[in-house]
Amino acid sequence: MSHHTDSILLATLITYYDDLKAFLTRKYGCRLLAEEVVQETCLRVNQLTHPVALDHPRAYLFKMAANLAVDHLRSEKRRTRYISAEAVTENVSNGMPLPETVIDYQQRLAILQKAIEELPPRCREVFMLHKFEGLSHLEIAHRLKISRNMVEKHVIRGLAHCRDRLRQTFQ
């Protein structure tokens, strides 16, 4: 994949990161799934080896993410950790998360906290400012006096590291 196409896709992904997450959350009703799929989309973009025709990079990314979400849901079903529609509806209606969802979520949080602690200091600082304080890449670049490109690299490295840690645990 040409570096140019790569950087266009990456820039598009970064621009629409939150939109993509919101779209997937609405579509599948699960913020954790959305978060995971967006991270996976980041990894896929990083791993692309052949050039893609990019008339509409945003549409391409949304399609890629939607396909990944479907794959993800299929493999969840196969692992029989699939929860019946009745149980979900019942729990959604009384506003209570399912117990296994809560445990799974707490476990994921603990893994993510540890993964973030493992990041190199500058990478961790950028990642925290972006993900937890909601600063834009430009704001972080100004605050830390580094290039916006460097901010993007740190954010993607942080996401990839967190994703790998989750993968290792939930294989």
The answer to whether the CB of 73 falls within 8 A of the CB of 32 is no
Give the model's confidence band at 68: pLDDT under 50 very low, under 70 low, under 90 confident, else very high.
confident
The answer to whether the CB of 37 falls within 8 A of the CB of 72 is yes
Mean pLDDT value of segment 30-44: 83
Q: How many residues does this entry show for the chain?
A: 171
Mean pLDDT value of segment 126-150: 88
Q: What 8-state DSSP symbol labels residue 50?
A: S
Greater model confidence, 97 or 7? 7
Judge whether 148 lies within some domain. Answer: yes
Q: In whole angstroms, what is the distance from residue 78 CA to residue 120 CA?
A: 37
Give the model's confidence band at 81: pLDDT under 50 very low, under 70 low, under 90 confident, else very high.
very low
The answer to whether the CB of 65 falls within 8 A of the CB of 20 is yes
Judge whether 76 lies within some domain. Answer: yes
Judge whether 87 lies within some domain. Answer: no
Amino acid type, 19: D
Q: Answer yes or no: is pLDDT of 83 > 50.
A: no
Can you give the pTM of this predicted structure? Answer: 0.44
Number of compact structural domains in the chain? 2
Task: Tell me the two tokens of residue 53.
Answer: 């025709």
Judge whether 103 lies within some domain. Answer: yes
Alpha-carbon torsion (126, 14, 18, 103), positive or negative: negative
Task: Tell me the two tokens of residue 152.
Answer: 């993007």
Instruction: Give ∠ CA 58-151-136 in degrees, rounded to 5.
Output: 65
Same domain, 1 and 64: yes
Q: In whole angstroms, what is the distance from residue 15 CA to residue 166 CA?
A: 24
Judge whether 88 lies within some domain. Answer: no
